[in-house]
Amino acid sequence: MERFLLVLVVVAVFALALWGMRLGWRRRARSQSVRLAPFPQVPAEPGEPLLEADGLYVSTTTAGNWQDRIVTRGMGLRGRAVLRRYAGGVEVDRAGAPGFWIPDESVLRVRRGSAIAGKVMGSDSLLIITWRLGEVELDTGFRGDDHGDYPQWMQSLSKGHADSTESRPK
Residue 6 counted as domain residue = no
Q: Can you tell me whether residue 14 is helix, strand or coil?
A: helix
Give the residue from 74, 58, 54, 64 showing the smallest Cα distance to 132.
64
Helix (H) or strand (E) holding 119: strand 119-120
Residue 15 counted as domain residue = no
Question: CA-to-CA distance for 10 and 14, rounded, in angstroms?
Answer: 6
Residue 133 has pLDDT above 90, yes or no: yes
CB–CB of 70/59 below 8 Å? yes
**Structural domain span for residue 140:** 51-158
Confidence of residue 89 (pLDDT cuts 50, 70, 90): very high
- φ, ψ at 47 (rounded to 5°): 100, -160
**Greater pLDDT, 92 or 37:** 92
Residue 43 counted as domain residue = no
The CATH code of the domain that includes 91 is 2.30.29.30
Domain count of the fold of the chain: 1
Question: CA-to-CA distance for 136 and 23, rounded, in angstroms?
Answer: 25
Residue 38 counted as domain residue = no
CB–CB of 140/128 below 8 Å? yes
Counted residue by residue, the chain has a size of 170
CB–CB of 132/108 below 8 Å? yes
Residue 23 has pLDDT above 70, yes or no: yes
